[in-house]
Amino acid sequence: MNIEILMATMAKAKISDIDWQAKNIISPLLLINQSDFNGKEVSDDITMISNTERGSSKSRNLAIENATGDICIIADDDVSYLEGYENIVKDAYSKYPDADIITFQIQTTEGKPFKPNYPVEEGYHSKMSILKCASIEITFKRKSIIDKGLKLDLEFGLGSKYRVHDEIIFLKDALSQGLKCVYVPIPIVVHPPESSGTDYNEALLFSKGAAFYRLFGISAIAYDLAFSLKKYSEYKNVFSFFDCLKLMIKGTLSYRKEH
């Protein structure tokens, strides 16, 4: 069972543009570099594929297509890994041999949990529990993903029409295809703490409304309402409650009309 890290980056001229010593990576690594040229560079256990396409989902899909590891870890170029991360991942897949996807935890550079409300209990994901997952928490069996033809939805994610929740939609599609997704409450990856919370703007709320329809169908309207109520204290200095709800429903109905 060999592990490979699939990392997304942008605007790099060569592999050495990244400070690899600080990342504590011991696995082979595939780097997808969205830049202004096409090419391939190999240095030791690092392969960099450069291309001129844009969008996080396109980057992840290209990584999946070119991956070779048995177990793949999704990564961004601003993360590093905790000592023993490979053994943690391997042990989890040994404990859950039927798991196709296992999500872990993120630790901040200050040594604290990245999210204050990580569940304590490990176990199988549901269509609700995946809503709190982040992309860099996700690992998967490459064969399971390839065999099901699973890809990230190109309409979602940074650089796409709808800029959020590409990773959640990926997990939802995996569950819908019958894949087993497991959560293990152990951190494997390190990321700087979030600075000032969510940057609420029209594009974000519109995109969330669309993503909720992609995830829940027409029930998305109820999720738009629940989100607008729950997050009011976070966005109230930018939008009124009704403006937030209106933007989300606009995104929901826009996506529904297109599909």
pLDDT of 121 above 90: yes
Tell me the mean pLDDT in the region 71-82.
Answer: 97
**Which residue's structure tokens are 């960099």?**
48
pLDDT of residue 85: 98
Tell me the mean pLDDT in the region 56-82.
Answer: 97
pLDDT of 163 above 70: yes
pLDDT of 6 above 70: yes
How many Å apart are CA 78 and CA 140, to the nearest integer?
Answer: 20
Tell me the mean pLDDT in the region 155-169.
Answer: 96
Helix, strand, or coil (residue 194): coil
pLDDT of residue 2: 97
Tell me the mean pLDDT in the region 18-37.
Answer: 97
pLDDT of 71 above 70: yes
Among 3.20.20.105, 3.30.710.10, 3.90.550.10, 2.102.10.10, name the CATH number for the domain at 3-191: 3.90.550.10
The alpha helices in the chain, defined as continuous H runs, are 56-66, 85-95, 142-148, 166-176, 202-216, 220-230, 232-235, 241-258
Helix, strand, or coil (residue 181): strand
pLDDT of residue 48: 98
pLDDT of 194 above 90: no
Q: Average pLDDT of the chain?
A: 96
Tell me the mean pLDDT in the region 207-236.
Answer: 97
pLDDT of residue 197: 58
Is-contact 146 61, C-beta < 8 A? Answer: no
pLDDT of 162 above 60: yes
pLDDT of residue 57: 97
From residue 252, give the alpha-carbon distance in Å to each of 60, 192, 219, 245. 25, 32, 10, 10
pLDDT of 196 above 70: no
How many Å apart are CA 211 and CA 135, to the nearest integer?
Answer: 15
Tell me the mean pLDDT in the region 89-94.
Answer: 98
Pairwise pLDDT comparison (241 vs 116), residue with the higher score = 241
pLDDT of 15 above 70: yes
The domain spans of the chain are 3-191, 202-258
Helix, strand, or coil (residue 115): coil
